[in-house]
Structure 1
Amino acid sequence: MESTKEKSFSRRQFLASASVLVGTVVAAPAFGMPAYIPNLRKPNSVFKGVQVGVITYSFRSMPSGTEELLRYCVEANVSAVELMGPAAEAFAGAPDAPARTGDDEADKVARAAHSQALAEWRANVPMTRFEQLRKMYKKAGVRIYGYKPSALGPNNTDAEIDYAFRAAKALGANQANVEFPKDPTHTQRLGTIAARNKVYVGYHGHTQQTFDMWDGAIAQSPYNAMNFDMGHYVAAGFDAIQFIKAKHEHIVSMHTKDRKSKANGGANLPWGEGDTPIVEALQLMSERKYKFPATIELEYPVPEGSDAVKEVAKCVEFARKALGA
């Protein structure tokens, strides 16, 4: 059943008011270089004790350098972020990926050479540029709490995996996140290296998520944890609130999106239009003082005339309204 708070939170009223607010937010002067950031109002997306963040994957439809991603966060009033690997690694000087030529064999050889060069770079790169990136974001009012590079797979070297956790720590994050591996020997490997660095590995799931999917990995290492996705969990046919209540101690961050339930087709929709109990989850996090961030992951189609920054800002405002902040 819905709580009194939820009943008073009209989705139609919210969507109308949010569109007005977002128009104001994104009308702020744009900037091209991080030096301008201190002149703008710093973002604040902590509402009633709940940190609302965003994964930078949400801005995939837009230019995605580190300065641009930071600008999007500031414009959308997001004060914390799960940073995808490509932008951070480019900032730190990683070798560029080869352009596709259309020659399958030549492209395969080029990709293999790039993978080897990237592995060598990761094994030897100093953390200085990652620390600079953390400071740049912090100065603008944005905390980096998660890092998701393509360095945690079964084909990556131990040195690359170690790099992922060291880079996460240099960025100020307490977690390096990865898609949930199928092989339990790999979660053991990741958990061991994570423990050595004292940084959590957050395993992310899609519709393969079940109530006990993470249990084996968590038993392997105290640094194996959950990057839970409540939208995908609902689309798989399960109760996200029950899961959060039972497993909150092992959740390091929670991807937040609105999907229809499995019975209703599972579609990704704007917040407030699906079956995912976002309002109830945010209120639960506030009432019980859960400390993991609620990470906006924008996966519904961006409406014509809008863009990813405006849609993320709508999600932030939805969360603020849901929490009565």
Structure 2
Amino acid sequence: MKTRRDFLIKSAMSAAALVTAPTWLQGAPSIIRNFNKPNSLINGVQIGCITYSFRTMPDQSAEATLRYVKDSGLSAIELMGDPAESFAGMPVSPINRMRMFQLGGKARRGEELTADETKELDELRAQGDAYQKEVAAWRATADMKKFEQFRKMYKDAGVSIYAFKPSAFGKNNTDAEIAYGMKAAKALGASHITLEHPSDDAHTLKLGKMGEQYGMAVGYHGHEQETFTFWDTALTQSPKNGLNLDAGHYIAAGQTDLIPLIEKQHSRILSMHTKDRTTPANGKGNVVWGTGDTPIGEMLQMMKKNKYKFPATIELEYQVPEGSDAVKEVQKCVEFCQKALA
């Protein structure tokens, strides 16, 4: 009885205090619900980030990735596959990716490999093929409830997932893997999946039709092969096909019609990678925002003025300075967007 009486007295006192409190404090329950939640919707423009930006951070788990996103002040993301798929139980890769990258790069550059290096690279590739089959088998029976749990964890922290980018949509992936990727994206709350443009009309047709089947849009990303007409064929193949435009790469490719492209295709742009790069004449560098040739401020102002709804996705690709880290650099990019949209 004493415990119940104490509770009632304290509750009554709290209610009385709230009535006489300042107006802003009387909304305390909603304030508490939103406390410590990021908000990167700036004057109508959704600023997001691809989680690839945090690739240099030591912990790549779902929980750590969420912490990086929140610490950066972001409320929306394009999610790479690893954090979600590892959370959902995907088999861990046994491959030394760094070593495979080193040897593979040496071979691609035409540099001669020693006999031992050739043998090592062959073994790594064989391991990679075996692992891909293991992953494909796991994806065929993956539980979508784990992706729903992932979505809830992020949503509860104030972060929405607008795009998903697992390695499930390439020409070497099975139809079952593609279907898995689209269903996982939907479970995560994403409106679209993203992938590198396959430069294969048959494959973009297949993905567009599967997108129609699973209710999922498909955003094609380009690098320096991007042109004004780069996406035209895919766009005619399916209403679910769209652009995952990379503004920085477009500038580095030497194109001069980025703003007209955005104006023409804004209704088919699903998301836009935003980074600062220089033109070919200036070295094609990935540089600190505000020091390159990408018209980031102009693009953001155009999005604000015309009420474009696609997100501007921060992609950190310039080298992280000594003494800093990826989170601190993404924070700087967010601050750049805030000033540009003020």
Report the TM-score when normalising by structure 1.
0.86
Question: Is this contact kept in 1: 2:276–2:286, CA < 8 A?
Answer: yes
Q: 1:1-325 to 2 correspondence within 5 Å?
A: 41-62=36-57, 63-100=59-96, 103-238=120-255, 239-324=257-342
> How far apart, CA to CA, are the structure 1 residues paired with 2:34 and 2:232?
46
**Distance apart, 1:64 and its partner CA:** 1.3
Letter in 1 for 2:338: R
Q: Structure 1 pair 313/110, CA: closer, same or farther in 2 (3 Å)?
A: same
**Distance apart, 1:40 and its partner CA:** 6.1
User: Mind listing any 5+ residue stretches in structure 2 that lack a counterpart?
Assistant: 1-32, 100-116
RMSD: 1.4
> How far apart, CA to CA, are the structure 1 residues paired with 2:122 and 2:292?
44
**Distance apart, 1:242 and its partner CA:** 1.4
> How far apart, CA to CA, are the structure 1 residues paired with 2:143 and 2:325?
36
User: Mind listing any 5+ residue stretches in structure 1 that lack a counterpart?
Assistant: 1-37
Question: Helix, strand or coil: the match of 1:161?
Answer: helix
Question: Helix, strand or coil: the match of 2:266?
Answer: helix
**Distance apart, 1:99 and its partner CA:** 3.1
> How far apart, CA to CA, are the structure 1 residues paired with 2:200 and 2:133?
23
Question: Is this contact kept in 1: 2:246–2:272, CA < 8 A?
Answer: yes
Question: Helix, strand or coil: the match of 1:193?
Answer: helix
Question: Is this contact kept in 1: 2:95–2:128, CA < 8 A?
Answer: no
> How far apart, CA to CA, are the structure 1 residues paired with 2:294 and 2:122?
44
> How far apart, CA to CA, are the structure 1 residues paired with 2:95 and 2:275?
33
Letter in 1 for 2:165: K
* Bigger radius of gyration among the two: 2
**Distance apart, 1:262 and its partner CA:** 2.2
> How far apart, CA to CA, are the structure 2 residues paired with 1:235 and 1:106?
36
Q: Structure 1 pair 263/108, CA: closer, same or farther in 2 (3 Å)?
A: closer
Question: Helix, strand or coil: the match of 2:267?
Answer: helix
Identity %: 56
> How far apart, CA to CA, are the structure 2 residues paired with 1:104 and 1:304?
32
Tell me: higher relative CO, structure 1 or 2? Use CA pairs within 8 A at least 6 residues apart. 1
> How far apart, CA to CA, are the structure 2 residues paired with 1:263 and 1:108?
38
